[in-house]
Amino acid sequence: MEPIEINQLQNHIDKLANKEVYVHLETTNGAYASHFNQDAYNVGAFIRNAQVTYQRGKVVGTGTTYRVGLKLDIGWIYAEGVNQYEVEDQNKLLMAGHDREGRLMVALQISETPFQY
Amino acid sequence: MTEHVVVIYPHPDDEAFGASGTITTFREKGIPVTYLCGTLGEMGRNMGNPTFATRETLPEIRKKELIKACEVLDINLEMLGYRDKTLEFESTEEVAAHLFSYLEKIKPSLVITHYPGHAVHPDHDAFGAAAIKAVEKLPENERPTVWAQAISRNHLEDVGEPDIQNDVSEVFTKKFETIQAHKSQADGMLSKVRNEADDIVEATKQWLGVESFYTWKF
């Protein structure tokens, strides 16, 4: 994955607007968060292959970390803390935020075909 | 009973961190070992450091790492095809029946798995519980010994000292090699050790040089 270049990422998000797409959204601090730090909480959310159509998608942010929001006819999807992206197999837009140790903290992925696994 | 050890853990690398020293000592005695690995660790947070994996490429990368680790250990591998972080939401009965189908064929003398309720990660707890349920399906006189591994903070208070404490420092080179086969995960997990210690193998040995298990009482 590459650090986000906001104009390029916006172009990729625009290309997938107003189409039936599959969305992967997750955020996690890991299954061991409260094991390693008793003051921490284990939290996470995960959805894979939600089928949606968004009328507008927008990436916002400055410097190193970004927010991406997708406006649906009847709702919203957003991810915060995204800092890298990659286009896989031409039609899969992968966005993710990693911490200093390279661990994934948040991911938002949009594809015209379902994600595997 | 012919000796055959079956290791039942959910993630590629659980065997490396948890039991690869013990596995090595069995292999040195010529005892066959089969690893029933539940998932491909699809939901791992570690993406390499610097990152080289994505959520989409991670499963194939971890599959290759798992195959390599099993080559290092010289053990048989069966990948059971569940998805990381979802095992506790599966039907325990169905997972147990799936595991039983392997136990019935292999007829192990020993099963190594996680101690349900004391294994921290929900997949560990769920797969350990299913493994024990699978063993219980065998007639009492045909049941293998089960070694259950506890890693929770409070396991000593709750269930006492583990009766099996394998000092694996003699075979630690092999254990370290197995851990390193899981490069995408080892990069991150060993980085703290790497930052703080001059001799990373020695420091890792201090951390992971003893593998402890509780003999399960049915």
CATH classification at residue A74: 2.70.180.10
Pairwise CB contact (< 8 Å): B43 & A88: no
Handedness of CA A38, B112, B24, B42 (dihedral sign): negative
Looking at the 3D structure of chain A, how many domains does it have?
1
Within-domain flag for A53? yes
Q: What is the 3-state composition of chain B as percent helix, strand, coil, each rounded to the nearest 5?
A: 50, 20, 35
Please name the member of B40, B48, B55 whose beta carbon is closest to the beta carbon of A102: B48
Domain holding A98, by residue range, is 2-23+40-79+90-111
| Contact yes or no for B33/B178 (Cβ under 8 A) | no
**Neighboring chain A residues of B120 at a CB cutoff of 8 Å:** 31-32, 35
Q: Which two tokens stand for residue B185?
A: 């995960």
Select from A46, A88, A103 the Cβ nearest to the Cβ of B56: A88
Q: Which residue of A has its CA nearest to B123?
A: A31
Reference A5, options A87, A76, A77; nearest CA is A87
ipTM for the whole complex: 0.93
CB contact under 8 A, A94 and B43: no
Do the domain assignments include residue A47?
Answer: yes
| pLDDT tens by residue, B13-52 | 999 999 999 999 999 999 999 999 999 999 999 999 889 9
B87 falls in which pLDDT band (50, 70, 90)?
Answer: very high
Q: Is the CB of B152 less than 8 angstroms away from the CB of A35?
A: yes
- Note the pLDDT of residue A33: 84
CATH number at residue B188: 3.40.50.10320
Interatomic CA distance for residues B45 and B63, integer angstroms: 15
Joined together, the tokens standing for residue A40 give 């921490």
The pair phi, psi for residue A36, each rounded to 5°, is -80, -25
* pTM for the model: 0.95
pLDDT (tens digit, 9 = 90+) per residue, B169-201?
Answer: 999 999 999 999 999 999 887 877 877 788 888
Please name the member of B45, B51, B56 whose beta carbon is closest to the beta carbon of A92: B56
Position A31 in a domain: no
- Number of domains chain B contains: 1
Q: Which domain holds residue B153?
A: 5-215
Strand spans (E) along B18-138 = 33-39, 76-82, 110-114
Record: contact A38-B153, CB cut-off 8 A: yes
